[in-house]
Amino acid sequence: MRRFLANEQFEINCSQAVVMRARRVRISKIEEMVMLASPPSAVDDTVRKPCRLSLSDRIETWLPKIILAPTFVVTLLFIYGFILWTGCLSFTTSRMLPNYEFAGLSQYHALFANERWWVALKNLALFGGLFIAGCLAIGLSLAILLDQKIRGEGFIRSVYLYPMALSFVVTGTAWKWMLNPGLGIEKLVRDFGFHNFTFDWLTNSELSIYTVVIAGVWQSSGFIMAMFLAGLRGVDDSIIKAAQVDGASLPVIYWRIIIPSLRPVFFSAFMILSHIAIKSFDLVMALTGGGPGFSSDTPATFMYTFSFTRNQIGMGAASAMMMLMIVAAVVVPFLYSELRSSRRG
Amino acid sequence: MGALSIRNVRKSYGTTEILKGINIEIEEGEFLILVGPSGCGKSTLLAMIAGLDNITSGEVYIGERKVNDLSPKDRDIAMVFQSYALYPNMTVRQNISFGLEIRKVPKAEQQKIVAQVAQILQMEQLLDRKPSQLSGGQRQRVAMGRAIARNPTLFLFDEPLSNLDAKLRVEMRTEIKLLHKRVGKTIVYVTHDQVEAMTLGDKIAVMKDGEVVQFGTPQQIYDNPVNLFVASFMGSPSMNFIPCRVAVLDGKFGLKMDTGGQTHVFPVEGASSALAAYAGREIIVGIRPEKITHKVDFLAGAPNFYVAETTIEISEPTGADTLLVITINDKNIVCRVHPDYAKSQGERMAFMFDMSKTVYFDPVTELRIL
Amino acid sequence: MADSSNTQTQGSSRFGRYLIYTLLGLVCLYYLMPLFIMLSTSLKTLDDIRTGSLVSLPAHVTFQPWLDAWSKACIGVRCEGMSVYFWNSFRFVVPAVLISTLAGAFNGYVLTLWRFRGSDIFFSALMIGCFIPFQVILLPMARTLGELGIFNTISGLIFVHVVYGVSFTTLFFRNYYVTIPDELVKAARIDGAGFLRIFWRIILPISTPIVVVSIIWQFTQIWNDFLFGVVFSSGDHQPVTVALNNLVNTSTGVIGYNVDMAAAIIAALPTLFIYIVAGKYFVRGLTAGSVKG
């Protein structure tokens, strides 16, 4: 009752509710007018009227949407709008400054006629393939080893995972130093007496992209290990016990039962790694700077170079759109299979 | 006007109709049970009474107020949830007083109310604990305490006991019943458990597929189910349904019962006229397990009591009673027999059928033949 | 999980265990080596670096490289060390982390406990933000920041990081809040609490773990970001990662490897510190954002 009275003043009265309430509370002038003005049918309570809700209640029902609105606008403008914008730029002749002179697909033609773009694509394929394969192999192996009731597991796990806390720029800087032919690992091995040992990948335009793989795998494999380990811990114990009762040995159990059940983890890991690979920018910039020459360029560094240092905005936009396509080519099938399996489950 | 009246309430999501015109009216202080299998719409109906779900059409009145467009907080209700929904970050005391605090009840009065509630539910020692430190039964109690503290005109319970183990459930059931007696408030209680429905309710609404199939007192529903569904849903073990041919015998009707080789004809007393239309045809005879017992000599032969001997197929002792399964008209029939008189599996035994509370159903429409 | 007790009784298993520990130990060395080399190099003199070995400890420990890196090293045209950029990073990282976490918490709250028609579609649409390569928004964003007059400012970086961080924080909070029963909100509504009060009084107090996860994740991401920093800022307003890259890749004069390493460690310190202090949450953030996303 007390609650009721407290709320009274917020009511917007235009119907039945008024009549009910009017018995208890004084009828204000406005209420009177509304009641007089409303034809009998307005009091017919089978017709729903939104104005029956009190003001505070109406704000209340809108509040969730109001809260979400800024994110909605931001997403619409700064994600979808900007993708569209970049798409538009890629169809223009923009160079140093954006202009909106329609140029059809000429930027794309130019892009695919550009040797440097092909190098970037080839590097992405090489780096992406090796980086993903390396991280998956190392990550899974380490996870299985760590899953053998290891003493000090927590500590070892933290050691494997810490590179993930580092910036790719820091990782790149560290490995750039270690891979430095003059003073790095090459010198270290030569000092051991192997005088002909050469490890000059960093300055070798044929091999420089592989240094990115080395540093990338070092940084990300621990994370994949953590994902697999979480996956292994999630495997139902009773399945393993059942397999043991059936007489399966440990390797067989892993190979035939546990690893196949990690399929979703493989999927997610693949997704994340391919995403890192496609976006790889910082690591390449810090480690090789795309060099020597442009031998270790990736689409990400290509896009940056053409858009911001070589004033080829149109082509930069075209390369960005191509990157989006590549990501979509990876993500869409993944999301599709995820959605399908979640609908089944 | 009653304490709660639901008038022609419908609910639909798009083209699917969840509730197809519900009409229920109960008086001040009554305990209403909404019971039915899952998906029958009972929880949706409760949510609509609470104001947590919109009403597509129809009206809900609490007391004299039409509440269709009132938000939950203005309906003067309190609700107990299946998961208890205790605020995990608050102590029991804060859980109970939260609603009071929002309604700007003075601090001193809040404390008084909390103390009262704690005393009613005997949980004074729990007041400063967090929900995570409580057992299932204790959480249940706090959830009820939170509802009582608000002193609403209407209590809503949404399957409050289904997360408890069997023993605790029986205890809490009694406690809810006691509480209802003490507080005397109107309660709407949703459950899928027919035992809870029978033991707690003043009125039961049996629901199926978005409709109230039958509305009445527990005894009415138990004794006079309107159709096969209600008959089979209420009661445990479930009512026996025997397909029987209606025989005409000296101008009276009889039911043919075949107990494996032997055919008995049980004459039907009363209700005969309704059966006329079914003479020579098959109907479904509903008889509760407790109406088929061992032969009691002084009753055997009395009107409506018939005896038939048959072989016991399975014997299931439950302690208080022994359930014996026999075959009549090729159907397994459960009989509830006092353990002292129950014979073992495979033995022959004379059973006494009390046909006075027997009900008949049309095999096609599944409706009661009256 | 995999119970190795049945294999442990066999003779070869003891050897197997040693092998496993040895392997794990070697891998530990592999992961720790770069950090060790960075640290030892940063404490060596340049002579020591040239004559000594990559993996040797410094002959004479010197802190000069650290002092240089912090306040004297030349980055671009300025020779004031990393300190300016280090504080720059803090100035935009902290607000960006807090704003994006708060926004994510609100969004997650609405998208799970106050769902409305179309809210699921909105969530899916928002998740695209986790997947797009940011190259695709760089050019329009540069232009927009210019129009708004916040290009090459701390506010500009805050803005960009909030805009593209909200997808992730929303995902975190949504995945956390889906485990909260709807009935909790219903109970509070019947108790008379409204949208905001339920959030502040009930939902936020039980969100501590996910708030920590979100803060750590966002801090690491934003602190370590290079792309937005290099595109949307220049000169004095650059973040520490960009400064580090400029320092290392400025090829004028003698290359001070020891200073480079000290600078790299300085740039890595805040995130490493968080990793050491709250590693548990760090892992949870990584997996929360990935396994479910």
In this structure, are A291 and A142 located in the same domain?
yes
Q: Give the pLDDT score at B271.
A: 59
Has residue A183 got a pLDDT over 90?
Answer: no
Domain boundaries, chain C: 2-62, 83-288
Is A162 touching C (CB cutoff 8 A)? Answer: yes
Whether residue C133 lies within 8 A of chain A, CB to CB, comes out as yes
pLDDT (tens digit per residue) in A204-262: 888 899 999 999 999 999 989 988 998 888 888 888 888 888 888 888 888 888 888 88
Across-strand partners of B255? B246, B266
* Per-residue pLDDT reduced to its tens digit, C180-216: 888 999 999 999 999 999 999 999 999 988 999 899 8
Instruction: Indicate the DSSP class of residue A92.
Output: B
Interface touch B65/A20, C-beta < 8 Å? yes
**Any domain includes A53:** no
Instruction: Please determine, for residue A9, whether its predicted confidence score (pLDDT) is greater than 70.
Output: no
- Within a domain: A62: no
Average pLDDT of chain A, as a whole number: 80
Note whether residue A252 is domain-resident: yes
Query: Do C287 and A230 form a contact (C-beta atoms < 8 A)?
Result: yes
Q: Which of A178-192, C62-76, C157-171 has the highest mean pLDDT?
A: C157-171
What residues make up the domain containing A10? Answer: 2-47
**Are C191 and B82 inside 8 Å of each other by CB?**
no
Decide which of A235 and C292 is more confident: A235
- Contact residues, C window 167-186, toward A, CB-based 8 Å cutoff: 167, 170
Q: Is residue A58 part of a domain?
A: no
Smallest Cβ–Cβ distance between B69 and the set A2, A17, A60 belongs to A17
Q: Residues in chain C whose beta carbon is closer than 8 A to a beta carbon of chain B? A: 181, 183-184, 186-193, 197, 201-202, 205-206
Q: At what angle do helices A313-344 and A82-89 cross, to 10 degrees?
A: 140
Chain B residues in contact with chain A using a Cβ-Cβ cutoff of 8 Å = 57-59, 64-66, 68-71, 73-74, 76, 103-105
pLDDT band of B5, cuts 50, 70, 90 = very high
Average confidence (pLDDT) over C105-113: 94
Q: Is the pLDDT of residue B340 over 80?
A: yes
pLDDT of C164 higher than 80: yes
pTM score, whole prediction:
0.83
CATH of the domain at A249: 1.10.3720.10
Pick the more confident residue, A43 or A264. Answer: A264
The helix/strand/coil state of C86 is helix
C25 CB neighbour count, 10 Å cutoff = 12
Q: How many domains does chain A have?
A: 2
- In angstroms, the separation between the Cα of residue C117 and the nearest Cα of chain B is 12
Contact in structure between B116 and B100 (CB atoms under 8 Å): no
Are A223 and A334 in the same domain?
Answer: yes
Q: Which residue of B has its CA nearest to A17?
A: B66
CA of C137 vs chain A CAs: smallest distance (Å)? 5
Do A258 and A147 fall within a single domain? yes
Q: To the nearest whole angstrom, how far is the Cα of C190 from the nearest Cα of chain B? A: 5
Render pLDDT for A23-78 as a digit per residue (tens, 0 to 9).
333 333 333 333 333 333 333 333 344 445 677 778 888 899 999 999 999 999 99
- Model confidence pLDDT, tens digit, residues A119-154: 999 999 999 999 999 999 999 999 999 988 888 888
Residues of A in contact with B58 (CB under 8 A): 46
Both tokens of A62, joined, read 């809108």
* Burial (CB count <10 Å: 0-12, 13-18, 19+), residue B351: buried
Last residue of one domain, picked from the residues A29, A47, A65: A47
Q: Would you give the end-to-end CA distance of chain C in angstroms?
A: 26
A340 domain residue, yes or no: yes
Across the interface, whether the CB atoms of A20 and B103 are under 8 A apart is answered: no
Residue A110 lies in a domain: no
Q: What is the pLDDT of residue A22?
A: 35
Cα nearest neighbour of B100 on chain C: C191
Total CB pairs under 8 A between chain A and B: 37
Chain C neighbors of A229, CB-CB under 8 A: none
Please provide residue B310's backbone torsions phi and psi, each rounded to the nearest 5 degrees: -155, 175
At residue B277, does pLDDT exceed 60?
yes
Q: Assess A55–C contact: CB distance below 8 Å, yes or no.
A: no
What is the per-residue pLDDT for C281? 78
* Distance in angstroms (rounded) separating the CA atoms of residues B205 and B212: 6
* Residue C265: closest CA among C66, C103, C9: C66
The pLDDT value recorded for residue C291 is 41
Residue of C nearest to B88 (CA): C206
Determine the distance in angstroms separating the CA of B90 from the nearest CA of chain A, rounded to an integer.
23
Chain B adjacent subunits, 3+ CB pairs under 8 A: A, C
How far are the Cα atoms of B10, B18, B20 from residue B55, in angstroms, in the given order?
7, 11, 12
* Contacts (Cβ under 8 Å, ≥6 apart) of B105: A2, B113
Instruction: Please report whether residue A96 resides in a domain.
Output: no
Q: Do B82 and C202 touch (CB under 8 A)?
A: no
Selecting from B86, B102, B158 the residue whose C-beta is nearest the C-beta of C193 gives B102
Residue A76: inside a domain, yes or no?
no
Set of chain B residues whose Cβ sits within 8 Å of the Cβ of C176: none
Where residue C12 falls among pLDDT bands split at 50, 70, 90?
low
- A-to-C residue pairs, Cβ atoms closer than 8 angstroms: 280
What architecture does CATH give domain C83-288? Orthogonal Bundle (1.10)
Q: B83–C193: do the CB atoms touch at under 8 Å?
A: no
Distance in angstroms (rounded) separating the CA atoms of residues B158 and B188? 9
Residue B347 near residue B289 (C-beta atoms within 8 A): no
